[in-house]
Homo-oligomer: A and B are copies of this chain.
Amino acid sequence: MQLYDKVLQALKEKKGEWVSGESLSDALAVSRTAIWKQIKTLQAEGYIIDSSPKKGYLLSASPDLLLPLEVGPGLETQVLGQTNYLYYPEVDSTNIRARELAAQGYPEGTVVVAETQTNGRGRRGRNWYSPAQAGIYFSVILRPLVPLRDISKVSLVAGLAVAENIEAQLDLRASIKWPNDVLINNKKVAGILAEAVTDMDSVEYIVLGIGLNINTPIQDFPDEFQARATSAGAECGTSISRVQVFQGMLKYLEYYYFLFKDNKFSQILAKIKDRSIVLGQEVRLDTVNGYLMGQAIDIDDNGCLLVRNQEGIHTIMSGEITILPHLSDR
């Protein structure tokens, strides 16, 4: 633990009470000047700390930043983010950073989180709009012992975890657009990008990246997303604590990921189907091999979408869906 963290922890333990500079200096075995420097840094980061020559320091408010000492204390996970939690005020992309760390051998459960991404990535090489402190942008390293086709299942698991956490914490109904977009009122609030290193036999690791729009004002979204993106705060009409949502997010993700590892994907699948907005719809599906149109009729045990048209039933592992208007609406 750095001195910075130690000072913050000491102030947090006495939140709402004055702590003298002398007692801090004694407890941490550093000079009072060293303490003072850390207080300055904390204030610059958004901590509201009153100071008085006689009484010392008083922490009256913490910023809504995803710092280790904000997220860690209330984090009810066993593995995710517990041992390795890497925080960046700014990063090119949490997935890129997590992939580097995974290649270096960082273990399952490693979390990389950033306040903003300069090159946030979505599926199909798209950008993920990541304005500072407005959303939650993070990646997790997972090392399940599964065959390569299970990468898709892990990304479905993530979609369910995002949706359930939003609903539990914010009382907003969240639906899932296969494979893993999470929508509120038919607008996208979260995106998921699962990247993996694999051989033919099994996955070496998966880097699961999630971008969740929390307090982003809708008018701030780039033009091309205006009509189909939203943020949880915009839907609630209030500003939301990101720290709390993130803690819940990691807890739900771990819960369903453990269930998946425990060979209980069928339970997860049932919940995904309940939230699906594509089943029963006429859809256009764009895949790396081309596109097809038909009715989305089911999601199978491998997480593949089944699409029926005149040629028969197609089993689709991944792709991008456009829901077509019903014939009667055209």
A residues at B contact (CB < 8 Å): 99, 103, 123-124, 145-149, 151-152, 155, 179-180, 193-202, 204, 287-289, 317-320
Contacts and interface: CB of A to CB of B under 8 A. Distances in A.
Contacts of A196: 148, 197-199
Contact of A200 (B147, B152, B202): B152
A319 B147 CA distance: 10
A153 to B, nearest CB: 10
Contacts of A195: 197-199, 204
Contacts of A193: 199
A289 B147 CA distance: 8
Given A147-B287, A148-B151, A201-B320, 11 more contacts: A123-B199, A124-B202, A148-B198, A148-B317, A148-B318, A149-B149, A180-B200, A195-B198, A195-B199, A200-B317, A201-B318
Given A147-B318, A148-B317, A317-B147, A124 B194 contact: no
A192 to B, nearest CB: 9
27 contacts: A99-B103, A124-B201, A124-B202, A146-B288, A146-B289, A147-B287, A147-B317, A147-B318, A148-B148, A148-B149, A148-B196, A148-B318, A149-B317, A151-B199, A151-B200, A152-B200, A180-B200, A193-B199, A194-B199, A195-B198, A195-B199, A196-B197, A196-B198, A198-B198, A200-B317, A201-B288, A201-B318
Nearest to A195: B199
A204 to B, nearest CB: 8
B199 A197 contact: no
Interface of A is mostly: mixed
A261 to B, nearest CB: 12
B198 A151 contact: yes
Contacts of A99: 103
A6 to B, nearest CB: 37
Contact of A288 (B103, B123, B147): B147
A318 B198 CA distance: 12
A148 B145 CA distance: 17
A290 to B, nearest CB: 11
Nearest to A145: B288
Nearest first, the 8 closest Cβ-Cβ pairs linking A and B are A200-B318, A202-B288, A195-B199, A201-B318, A147-B288, A155-B200, A152-B200, A197-B197
A128 to B, nearest CB: 13
B319 A201 contact: yes
A155 to B, nearest CB: 5
A213 to B, nearest CB: 21
Contacts of A123: 199-201
A199 B208 CA distance: 10
Contact of A179 (B103, B198, B200, B317): B200
